[in-house]
Amino acid sequence: EDQVTQSPEALRLQEGESSSLNCSYTVSGLRGLFWYRQDPGKGPEFLFTLYSAGEEKEKERLKATLTKKESFLHITAPKPEDSATYLCAVQAVGNFNKFYFGSGTKLNVKP
Amino acid sequence: EAQVTQNPRYLITVTGKKLTVTCSQNMNHEYMSWYRQDPGLGLRQIYYSMNVEVTDKGDVPEGYKVSRKEKRNFPLILESPSPNQTSLYFCASSLFGTDLAFFGQGTRLTVV
């Protein structure tokens, strides 16, 4: 069964304190892994797509990496405005019409 | 501006009273889908559509219906809502379903 697990559920950081969020997945064959940011009361905002192990994508203070079993979202020197819930989702090769989401990591960056 | 628009944003209704949540996109996307988001469970797919008149079930389709008569619109229909359908609903679209880049603002539904 295709499955996505995110950890930790919640993370509190001081401004400037770098850390990583984890997304581990079980799929029969990975077509793509997606990261989103979600602010309270809003729809998910697309950040990155990763397709193959070893791939990396960067945007400002965020960097996403992918291995065969998990993905990491690294946050370097975070700012309070990075506070949000970060979601990951996977799309399987054999079932590419469906997207499976993790339950998210709620990040709180204190000034 | 490229966007997915859902209406209404908030809805409180009573058990058994039929309702429709509308979703419209202005990007000429082929693929559209509906999700519900519940605490601790993440986003779960209800239905998706690959094109006009082509729809299929996601992981939690029970109690929901959809239709895709025009490319831009993908309404979600609850014919007899129940309290366990109280949730936050999102519509999403993409060009061909190869990613899921655009989400609506969400509809918070409460069924009492």
pLDDT tens profile B65-84: 999 999 999 999 999 999 99
- What pLDDT, on the 0 to 100 scale, is given for residue A92? 87
pLDDT bin (cut points 50, 70, 90) of residue A97 is confident
- What pLDDT, on the 0 to 100 scale, is given for residue A85? 97
pLDDT bin (cut points 50, 70, 90) of residue A96 is confident
pLDDT score of A95 more than 90: no
Distance CA A60, CA B77 (A): 40
Share of residues in chain A with pLDDT > 90 (%): 85
- What pLDDT, on the 0 to 100 scale, is given for residue A28? 82
Among all residues of chain B, which has the CA nearest to that of A99? B45
Tell me the Cα Rg of chain B.
Answer: 13
Task: Say if residues B24 and B5 touch (Cβ distance below 8 Å).
Answer: yes
- To the nearest whole Å, the CA of A16 is away from the closest chain B CA by 28
Q: For chain B, which ranges sit under pLDDT 70?
A: none
pLDDT score of A53 more than 80: yes
Quick one: average pLDDT of A3-16? 96
Binary contact (B50, A97; C-beta < 8 A): yes
Binary contact (B43, A89; C-beta < 8 A): yes
- What pLDDT, on the 0 to 100 scale, is given for residue B97? 81
- Please name every residue paired with A15 in a beta bridge, in sequence order, or none if there are none: none
- What pLDDT, on the 0 to 100 scale, is given for residue A2? 74
Among all residues of chain B, which has the CA nearest to that of A42? B105
Quick one: average pLDDT of A18-23? 98
| Biggest distance spanned by C-alpha atoms of chain A | 45
Residue with tokens 């990583």: A20
Average pLDDT, whole number, for chain A?
A: 94
Q: Is A102 on the interface with B (CB under 8 A)?
A: yes
- Beta strand extents in chain B (DSSP E only): 4-7, 10-13, 19-25, 31-38, 42-51, 54-57, 65-66, 76-78, 87-94, 102-103, 107-111
Binary contact (A103, B106; C-beta < 8 A): no
C-alpha dihedral sign at A49, B3, B45, A36: positive
Using a CB-CB cut-off of 8 Å, the residues of chain B touching A101 are 35, 42-44
